[in-house]
Amino acid sequence: MKALKNVKIDQIRFTVPIVEDKLKDTDEPSIIKAINRYFKFRLIFNNPVKKLTGKNGYTNSILWGSNEQGGLISIMYNPNRIDMGVMIDFTSSGKLLYESLCQLNSIEVNWRKIITAIYQRYHGHTTRIDVAIDLINKGYSVNTIYQNLKNGKYVFINPRNQKINSNRIQHIGTSDVVNTIYVGSRFSDSYLRIYDKKTEQLSKQGMFHTLANSCDDWVRVEGEFKNRECHQIGAIVSTLTTDNIGPYLVNYVNKHWKLVVNND
């Protein structure tokens, strides 16, 4: 198997404004119908599940897909908090399911165009984007990267061109074998995870375990962006004229966590 480098949006979340000034407890914001039409949810899914629960302050959920199908897409709102808008949440598995069903129905999925529509047509924004960079058969090892960080050979550089302190870098694994590296805090607007995707897929019998079985090594670099950082990514992507947004996403991850040889 040849060496590969794949870049994608792993999961994504949007917020769009509610146009009504007021809603009853039993009302659904009218923007939800427009969102359903745009994403063609009713064409590719069965009827959604509606629940009087939510997260992050939202109280009502409309769920497309299911865990049985392998993914879930949530639309959430709170009729008593118009200012919160409507949240559209594609989990990693939900996004993959959506893309697969669209392909089966000959529906184009272009995330640059989707993000542009959210910003320019619906006046919304992205509230979370996870960028995944898969390095397959490139000869990289998470354990080697961590050991070189530990002994000071490698350092991470932040957007201000400063070294990231070692206390901001965590790991999972034994002292001899590390499978996952974390940089930053999950509660911050930007968070990095580097992990052994081959080991993860084989141990969980994940949906990509066949690929994991056939490759020699597979390291995933995953940047999680929320709030201000995520708004900026979405705003820029919505102005791009090329559908090849991968290089921009890679540059954004690299700008936040540049791994370099320590020359001190």
Q: What residue type is assigned to position 159 of the chain?
A: P
What pLDDT sits at residue 174? 76
Write the pLDDT tens digit of every residue in 76-98.
999 999 999 999 999 999 999 99
Q: What is the pTM of this model?
A: 0.93
Question: What pLDDT, in 10s, does the model give residues 107-123?
Answer: 999 999 999 999 999 99
71 band by pLDDT with thresholds 50, 70 and 90 = low
Q: Indicate the helix (H) or strand (E) that contains 197.
A: helix 197-204
The span from the CA of 244 to the CA of 225, in Å, is: 19
Q: What is the per-residue pLDDT across 168-203, written as a single tens digit (0 to 9) for each?
A: 999 998 768 999 999 999 999 999 999 999 999 999
Q: Where are the domains of the chain?
A: 18-123, 134-261
CA neighbor of 28 nearest in space, from 67, 7, 59: 59
The DSSP output letter for 125 is E
Nearest-angstrom CA–CA distance, 58 and 77: 5
pLDDT at 262 over 80: yes
- To the nearest 10 degrees (0 to 180), the angle between helices 246-256 and 227-237 is 150
User: Which residues sit opposite 50 in a β-bridge?
Assistant: 62
As a whole number of angstroms, the distance between CA 208 and CA 198 comes to 9
Spacing of C-alpha 212 from chain mean position: 21
